[in-house]
Structure formats: structure tokens, C-alpha cells
Amino acid sequence: MCGIVGYIGKEDAKEILLQGLEKLEYRGYDSAGLALCNEKGITVIKEKGRIADLRGAVPLDIQATIGIGHTRWATHGVPNKENAHPHQSESGRFTLVHNGVIENYHLLQQTYLQQVQLKSETDTEVIVQLIEKFVKDGMPTEEAFRHTLRLVHGSYAIAMLDADEPETIFIAKNKSPLLLGVGKGFNVVASDAMAMRQVTDQFVELHDQEIVFVRKNEMMITTLDGTIIQRDPFTAEIDMSDIEKGTYPHYMMKEMDEQPGIIRKISQQYEDENGELTIDTAVLKAIMNADRLYIIAAGTSYHAGLIGKQYIEKMAGIPVEVHISSEFGYNLPLLSEKPLFLFITQSGETADSRQVLVKVKAMGYPTLTLTNVSGSTLSREADYTLLLHAGPEIAVASTKAYTAQLAVLAIIAYVTGKAQGKVQHFNLKKELAITANAIQTLVDAKETFEEIAHEFLATARNAFFLGRNLDFYVSLEGALKLKEISYIQAEGFAGGELKHGTIALIEEGTPIFALATQQAVALNIRGNVKEVVARGAHACIIAMEGVEEAEDRFILPHVHELLTPLISVIPLQLISYYAALQRGCDVDKPRNLAKSVTVE
């Protein structure tokens, strides 16, 4: 959460920084700011709201070749101009942007800054005021920077300007993501490579507790205690068309439309030279060595994990537990003798999941990350990584990453099952190809889902998603999609469980979306729908060909029963999209959210 950029070179910094912040807006979008440094000194411009608001506030005639910028997702203090970054020290000499949370900021303020009048409610301001205090006490800037970071507990990605040393950007990283970008006659910093891809494709990774002094023609990476580190750049394989919206009205629509192609691409990426599905042999070995898999994830990725458990248990015969990452780390269950931890995370940066990774690694257990972002923190820190190959997902609501997670989880389960002789008479590659075609049919039927959204949700205050078996897990995801982008309160429920209390909420006109794709429970879910319809609910049944009935509102094309989650989620994504649009919501950037949740 929060995005950071910095530029030092020869060009006009403000445009490069603003473009970078626009690419980082998915990380937070409640306020934003820039600090631009030229011969007249440092100018700070901040605005509440989006980058577009900041852009409007930046004077066109200001020229600067050095600058830092920030887009915020508020943690400490409401989103307003005062709490927006950059923050400045009392004298204005130091200017700093920060992503992360300083856990001991209050103690630091009490201990060192009693005499300083803070201007904001943020934890960040304490860092910049501390640096100035130590400089006033006689330390050179570099030493004061290091000294402050040694005192700070928590997560941070920091970029700082010193008005007295304007040829350097001071950088530090711990737990929050930050990359250096290398150019000819300039250097940049950014929370991710997409933000600076327009000026360079050469990036240098930073590790936790590293400090960097970035100048126009050089950058020096050191540890907190001053040891110099040499690290080569890597080439960021990002296609600019992947991060542009093109002719689409929203990233979410573009990303939903990409799903058939992604499923086909995943099939190819996980193919061996004989065209058979495969996964890295070291990963396969690690899975087969385990007596139990522990899937750790949050939000949509957690929902994918619930389905992954079914795949792995059914195809590979290995027991799986699925845990919400923010709970797991602080309430460890009894572990099996030979566990393997599987982290599912689109971004690879989710702090809740990462704290579990750090803990279980310290306990000596093997770890595997399933992520969309190669080189992300959870990918680098786990023993093994498998990639989703979904391309950058920019809309805050996850769509294509979810279906990609399901496809790769199915491949993991299938390949493991085959290696153990447990999968027979089932050709996953063929079934995935059929599934990709079915997804295409569904994304081509947009108008129907627009009509359904209008019919069922135009005036709705709440909604229920019902399913049994695999459909239940998809209904959890459907409810999350609807609430996060349309702000309609929604709950995903196991069809049979509703009558044990929650049915009390059903009243005349309550919208119900029921999935019926599973043969074994098709009659049961229909019975559950009848129970709520009898109490006034307005039911939209989405069933699969083969189990359909006259009462159904939409029939999904037939796919293998295990792969139904990949198709039944598509109508729910599209219905949520249109419901949000019809209510005038900002589909790509829903209120209060951020794409990459890098605080616990």
C-alpha cells in the first residue's frame, strides 16, 4: 500500500514522477504528493484525492531534475492534505516519502521529539523529524539516516531529499517493496517496475534493511551498518500494452476479457517438450515429500486456495489445510510432521502472508509461493515459486489472477496425482482447453449479465450467493467481488447452512444468486433456493448444462465438474462489474481499498 517514485537525472522530473504515480495508483489513491528539487530549493505539492488532482495542482512552469513522489493509502491519520506525503522536517531541510508502518513511532516521538511540533498525524513524520534532530545534534545526514532506521521498528520503503545535499536521493527498505531503476545519465526508484518502465527496463532489487544513495550516474547500496553491496540489474519483462487500458473503459473489463487467453497460456507455460502438463521437478518433489500442505492466503487468493484444497486432495491424495494468513501467524494450529507451506498471492507482496512466510521459514519448513509477480517479495523469499502468467492485474478487484490461480492449482494437483499414479482417464490439458472456450462464451455474453445486474441489483441493499461443494467456494468469491466494487453488502453461503440462522435476513425481493454446477448436490441447492424463494427472495439460478432446469436464469457451457469454478465465477464477476457501474462506482479503484496490501 502506498506507492513511491523518485527520479534524479537531466529531464523534467515532474512528468516522469506523475506518470510513475499514475501507474502506482492501484497501491493507494486517497491523497498524493510530489517534492521537486531545483536551484531554488525543494517545492512540495500535495493534494487530497487522486493523481489527477495532484497533476492539476502542480505548476506547469516548475522545472526540476530531481524529485520524489507518493500516492497514499491512509494508515495513520485521515486522508487529507496535511497527512499526505511528502513530509518535511521542522526546518524544511529534509523531505521524505514512506510506504509501510512504523510500529514504535509514538515511543520515538515521546523519547526524542517532545520539543518538536508535528504537523501531521502520521507515523512517517516522526522519521523525518528524527533525522533532522540527529543532524542538529551533529551527525552528518548519512549517519542520521542510518541511526534513525536502526531505531525504527516496522516496515518501510523510504525516499528522502536533503536540501543541503541535492544531488542525492536517500533510500531505505525494510519489508515494503522498492526497486531501483538504472538509466543513462539518470536513476529512478519505484515501488514496482511498472511505474518506471516508461524510462528504463533495467532494475535492481533491494533487500530488507538496505540503504541506497542514489545519484544521477551512480547508486551505492549498503546494509544498515554500512557494508557496500554489489548487485546486478535485471531486465523487467513488461510489455507496455499489458499495463495500458487500450480501448477498454476499465482495467477490470480488460482483465476479465483476457481470461480465456490466460488459461490457454498457462497450459502452454506448464507443458514439457512432449506437450504434457508438468511442474518444476524440485517443486513436485517438495510436494510429494510433504505429508500435508498448508495453503496460506488472503481475500480472493484465499478463495482460490479453498478450491485448490479440493483439487489437491482429490487428484493427488495429499491432505490440505487452507488458512487466512492474518490469522495463521498469530494462532498456529498443530502442524503435521512434514508440512509444505503454499502461499497463494497475486501480488507476492501481501504483508499478512509474508509474516507467515517469515515465521515458518524460521521454523525450518519448506515454502512454495504461487504468484503473478516474478521477483516479488514472497517469490524471492520462498524456497520455490510457481508463476500464474496472468500478466499485470491493475484493477483492484482480482479477476484474471483468480482464474489463473485455479488453473495452476489444478495443474499442480494433476501433475502430482499423475506422478503418484492416482490420476487416470482424465486429460487436464484437454479439459482446460474446453474451459478456456467456455470462458470465452461467457465473456462474450456481457449484455445478459448487464441485464441480470439491472434486474436483481438496481435497488438492492444486500445480496446472497449460494452454492454447495465447489459452488460454495465460488459463491464466497462472488460475494467479495460484489461488495468490494458496488458496496452492496453481500454474503457467500453454503446452501444448506442458510436455514441455520441467516435465513432470517431473507425478505421480499432479497436477491439470491445460486450456482448449480455440481451433479451430486444439484437437487439439494435447488431445494435451498426454494426455501428462500418461499420467503420472498428473488433468485437467479446459474446452472451448468447437464444439470439445468427450466427455472434457471443462465446456463453455463459444460466443462469438467472439477473445473466449474473457472467458469461459474465469470458471470459473478460480470454481474458485479455492471452493478457497480450502474451505481456510478469507480470500478477499478473502489473506495477504501488498495491493490497491494503491504501492511498487516
**Residues in the site for ligand F6R, rule: CB under 6 A?**
298-301, 345-347, 350, 353, 397-398, 480, 484, 597
Alpha carbons within 13 angstroms on the beta-carbon side of residue 503 total 17
Q: Which of 216, 254, 309, 595 is catalytic?
A: 595
Chain Cα centroid distance, residue 271: 27
Q: Before 571, cis peptide (omega within 30)?
A: no
Residue 569 beta carbon to ligand F6R: minimum distance, rounded to whole angstroms: 11
Residue 323 beta carbon to ligand F6R: minimum distance, rounded to whole angstroms: 13
* Identity of the residue, 89 or 350, whose beta carbon is nearer to ligand F6R in the bound complex: 350
Separate counts of helices (H) and strands (E) for the chain: 18, 25
The full DSSP string for 285-298 is HHHHH-SEEEEEE-
Residue 350 beta carbon to ligand F6R: minimum distance, rounded to whole angstroms: 3
Residue 305 beta carbon to ligand F6R: minimum distance, rounded to whole angstroms: 10
Region of 353 (left: φ > 0; alpha: ψ -120 to 50; beta: rest) is: alpha
Alpha carbons within 13 angstroms on the beta-carbon side of residue 25 total 22
Provide the strand spans (E) within 41-125.
41-48, 66-72, 87-88, 94-99
* Identity of the residue, 89 or 568, whose beta carbon is nearer to ligand F6R in the bound complex: 568
* Identity of the residue, 357 or 432, whose beta carbon is nearer to ligand F6R in the bound complex: 357
Residue 420 has phi, psi (to 5 degrees) of -100, 10
Please give the C-alpha separations between residue 285 and each of 135, 177, 191, 290, 428, in angstroms, as whole numbers. Answer: 54, 30, 34, 9, 20
Rounded Cα distance, 532 and 188, in Å: 57
Residue number, nearest CB to ligand F6R? 299
Residue 10 beta carbon to ligand F6R: minimum distance, rounded to whole angstroms: 36
* Identity of the residue, 297 or 529, whose beta carbon is nearer to ligand F6R in the bound complex: 297
Q: Residue 190 pairs with which residues in a beta bridge?
A: 5, 179
Rounded Cα distance, 508 and 538, in Å: 8
* Identity of the residue, 301 or 385, whose beta carbon is nearer to ligand F6R in the bound complex: 301
572 residue type, one letter: L
Side-by-side strand order, sheet with 489-494 = 489-494, 462-467, 511-516, 538-544, 554-556
Residue 378 beta carbon to ligand F6R: minimum distance, rounded to whole angstroms: 8
Q: Which three cell numbers stand for residue 47?
A: 493534494
595 is catalytic: yes
* Identity of the residue, 376 or 518, whose beta carbon is nearer to ligand F6R in the bound complex: 376
* Identity of the residue, 347 or 486, whose beta carbon is nearer to ligand F6R in the bound complex: 347
Q: Is the alpha carbon torsion for 571, 572, 574, 578 positive or negative?
A: positive
Rounded Cα distance, 123 and 116, in Å: 14
Residue 386 beta carbon to ligand F6R: minimum distance, rounded to whole angstroms: 14
* Identity of the residue, 283 or 373, whose beta carbon is nearer to ligand F6R in the bound complex: 373
* Identity of the residue, 102 or 298, whose beta carbon is nearer to ligand F6R in the bound complex: 298
Among the listed residues 423, 233, 228, the one whose alpha carbon sits nearest the alpha carbon of residue 316: 423
* Identity of the residue, 67 or 299, whose beta carbon is nearer to ligand F6R in the bound complex: 299
Residue 247 beta carbon to ligand F6R: minimum distance, rounded to whole angstroms: 24
Region of 584 (left: φ > 0; alpha: ψ -120 to 50; beta: rest) is: left
Among the listed residues 426, 421, 398, the one whose alpha carbon sits nearest the alpha carbon of residue 252: 398
CA angle 393, 446, 575 (to 5 degrees): 70
Residue 299 beta carbon to ligand F6R: minimum distance, rounded to whole angstroms: 2
Residue 470 beta carbon to ligand F6R: minimum distance, rounded to whole angstroms: 19
Q: Which three cell numbers stand for residue 578?
A: 455492471
The full DSSP string for 215-280 is -SS-EEEEETT--EE----EE----GGGGS-TT-S-HHHHHHHTHHHHHHHHHHHTB-TTS-B---
Residue 27 beta carbon to ligand F6R: minimum distance, rounded to whole angstroms: 11
Residue 211 has phi, psi (to 5 degrees) of -120, 145
Report the length, in residues, of the chain: 600
* Identity of the residue, 94 or 465, whose beta carbon is nearer to ligand F6R in the bound complex: 465
Q: Which of 2, 37, 540, 585 is catalytic?
A: 2
Please give the C-alpha separations between residue 66 and each of 145, 168, 200, 550, in angstroms, as whole numbers. Answer: 19, 9, 17, 66
Burial 29-46 (b: 16+ CB within 10 A, else e): bbbbbbbbbeeeebbbbb
CB atoms closer than 10 angstroms to residue 501: 8
Just list the catalytic residues: 2, 595
